[in-house]
Amino acid sequence: MTYCVGLRLDRGIIFASDTRTNAGFDNVARFRKMHVWELPGDRVIVLLTAGNLAVTQSVVSLLDEGLARSADSPDAGPSLFSVSTMFQAARLVGSTLREVHRIDGEDLGPEAAAFSASFILGGQIKGEGPRLFQIYDEGNFIEAGDDTPFFQIGEHKYGKPILDRVAVPEMRMGDAAKLLLISFDSTLRSNLSVGLPIDILIYRTDTWHVGEQRRIEAEDPYFHALSEGWSRALRQAFANIESYTNAD
């Protein structure tokens, strides 16, 4: 399983992804699910991946090969560095996913449905504001707006209540990072197939370069304090609500 979140704010976009993959409970590995393409001064594009690792790695490799091809020849078709909008970037990721399904699907036969993938794509290309998309296994996609400023892929349920209650476009980046990490903390506690470390990336509007990118390990003192503090705060919040009855 996987847990990834992208949150679009007035100040920019913040991304977070876990790093655990598993083929059964007894076959666990660590893989990066956050992929970044940057042309400083022109664009930052971030892709978070969930689902079958063979599919998501193929998509990323094909996107990388597209970059190399379009560097050699400008007529080689669109690449993440040649598209002029994030909408075009989302179409490119969607069509690349469809290509992978087409190549592998025939040989997978009736098992093909198990080889699904989904993505969160966000970033900014000069000429428009920052944009955030969720791309489905079918290759189509939706874009985040002010009503729903975040997308989650993978194991989304445990970490959703706090996002629903707290996420607003006006948030400061430091608070948004805290929010995403609390959402991860709830997910990590409840689903063994989501695991540390967490990759986190902060992109600030109109900077066109990656502001901050970090890997948060299990022993990270901030995450440790946040996890402890959130448990304590939740129990305190619980204690402050009036009991259903005063009866013992």
What residues make contact with a second copy under the rule CB under 8 A? 11, 157-158, 160-162, 164-166, 172-175, 177-179, 181-182, 186, 189-190, 212, 222, 225-226, 229-231, 233-238, 240-248
List, as one string, the DSSP characters of 99-161.
Answer: HHHHHHHHHHGGGGGGS-EEEEEEEEETTS--EEEEE-TTS-EEE--SSS-EEEEES-STTHH
Q: How far is the CB of 231 from a second copy (least distance, A)?
A: 6
Residue 15 CB coordination number (10 Å): 25
- Which residue, 98 or 160, is less far from a second copy as judged by CB? 160
Q: How far is the CB of 132 from a second copy (least distance, A)?
A: 19
CB 48 within 8 A of CB 60: no
- Which residue, 77 or 129, is less far from a second copy as judged by CB? 129
Strands 141-143 and 3-9: unpaired
Q: How far is the CB of 92 from a second copy (least distance, A)?
A: 31
- Which residue, 10 or 143, is less far from a second copy as judged by CB? 10
Q: How far is the CB of 203 from a second copy (least distance, A)?
A: 13
Short-list 1, 11, 36, 14, CA closest to 179: 14
DSSP 8-state code for residue 41: T
Q: How far is the CB of 85 from a second copy (least distance, A)?
A: 27
- Which residue, 69 or 235, is less far from a second copy as judged by CB? 235
**Is the sign of the CA dihedral 230, 235, 240, 244 positive or negative?**
positive
Q: How far is the CB of 3 from a second copy (least distance, A)?
A: 12
- Which residue, 65 or 212, is less far from a second copy as judged by CB? 212
Residue 66 CB coordination number (10 Å): 19
- Which residue, 114 or 241, is less far from a second copy as judged by CB? 241
Q: CA-CA distance, 168 to 7, in Å (whole number)? A: 9
Residue 207 CB coordination number (10 Å): 15
